[in-house]
Amino acid sequence: MPAELPLMLLGLATGFVFGFLLQKSGVARFETIIGQFVFRDFTMLKVMLTAIIVGGVGVYGIHEFGGKDLVIKQAQMDAVLLGGLIFGAGMALLGYCPGTAVASAAQGNRDALAGLLGMFAGGAMFAENFSYYAATLLKRHDLGKPTLPDLTGLPAWLFFAALIAVALPLFAWLERRERS
Amino acid sequence: MLRFFCLRRWSPYATGALLGVLSWFAFATTGKLLGVSTALVKTVGMAESAVAPGHVAANPYFAKTGVKVDWEWMLVLGIALGAWTAGRLSGGEERKELPAMWESRFGASRGKRYAAAFAGGGLVMYGARMAGGCTSGHGISGSLQLAVSSWAFFLTIFAAAVAVSALLYGRGTSDAR
């Protein structure tokens, strides 16, 4: 029996909304994801960039005024870059990422389910290889847990202003282009 | 109001913004942000524990990740339920057996598609765990925090996926929307 039932239910409810939004946005589809990577469908970029901007402004607000610590992932740069290349290649082959694979499989798509099973296998394999990486790859170019503000000395709001300055004309251009 | 929830598709900007707001909610209520790949590793650990409990208990990666039902695990269960519900409300996605774009390039063999999906999934998870997260954990949650690791990840996965997609599908493939 899980120790904290309210927290579990909170997770379930949060995830429910997450999955609901993934489905409604159209992003939990092979066609949408591969469509993004061949630059025919920009749904994925629109969703993610908007989420990053809106989410980031609020989270930084909560961080600065609510005192909650950010949860930054370790910048073990060799591992992040190599892992990223492997992930990207896999995503192009599968046509889903972990979250969208779960969302798609839940709707009955068998290739997404096959992908999930592959993810379990990949995870199991990594667990076996982890000790090796911990002693080698994961130690190389470990920058700690910096944010872009940490690295540059520039304030967070400037980065969000820059993201908005890029996103708005980009979105406007995409909408004009897609209308024609 | 209900009709809104039964729409087949919502604006990507609206859903993106709502995902952002959901991130505020997660952060404010738990101090954590959205992520998926870690929960899948926990599931692997739980499944492996059923057949080889000693092996899982001795494995440093499962020790690091944890092997239990928690907020992160329930989140992924929630994703499945939420996506299913959203699909049902709009009458279910009309889906042929295989994505049209795949089929026009690789043929109608379902076995071939499932094998490729399995292999792709393996690479996705292996890469995610090596990098420390996936498109949710790094791509959204990390990027919105302006994390260096996450921006590096996001740009790298995008470049790799674009390159491999070009290799797989090239130009002049049939349009599939």
* Chain A residues with beta carbon closer than 8 angstroms to that of B148: 75, 143, 146-148, 150-151
B positions 72-91 inside 8 Å of A (CB): 72-87, 90
Task: Give B147's strand partners.
Answer: A147
| B119-139: average pLDDT | 98
pLDDT at residue B89 greater than cutoff 80: yes
d(CA A17, CA B79): 7
Least-confidence region, from A83-87, B56-60, B95-99, B172-176: B172-176
CB contact under 8 A, A89 and B36: no
Best residue of B29, B32, B51, B118 to probe chain A, by most A CBs closer than 10 Å: B118
CB contact under 8 A, B93 and A107: yes
DSSP code for B35:
-
* Chain B residues with beta carbon closer than 8 angstroms to that of A47: 12-13, 15-16, 19
Question: Could you tell me the sign of the dihedral formed by the alpha carbons of A163, B142, A111, A38, in that order?
Answer: positive
- Owner of token pair 């192009």: A92
| B148-156: average pLDDT | 98
Q: How far is A136 from chain B (nearest CA, A)?
A: 12
pLDDT value of position B173: 46
d(CA B177, CA B175): 7
pLDDT value of position B117: 98
pLDDT in tens, A20-41: 999 999 999 999 999 999 999 9
**Closest residue of chain B to A78, computed from CA coordinates:** B131
* Chain B residues with beta carbon closer than 8 angstroms to that of A27: 12, 15
The full DSSP string for A25-61 is HT-SSHHHHHHHHTTS--HHHHHHHHHHHHHHHHHHH
pLDDT in tens, B19-68: 999 999 999 999 999 999 999 999 999 999 999 999 999 999 999 999 99
Count of residues in chain A: 180
- Owner of token pair 């998870």: B125
Q: Based on C-alpha coordinates, what's the Rg of chain A?
A: 19
Give yes or no for a contact between B21 and A57, defined as CB atoms under 8 angstroms apart: no
**Closest residue of chain B to A58, computed from CA coordinates:** B24
pTM to 2 decimal places: 0.96
Cβ-Cβ contacts under 8 Å for A78 (sequence gap 6 or more): A137, A138, A140, A141
pLDDT in tens, A134-153: 999 999 999 999 999 999 99
CB contact under 8 A, B152 and A81: yes
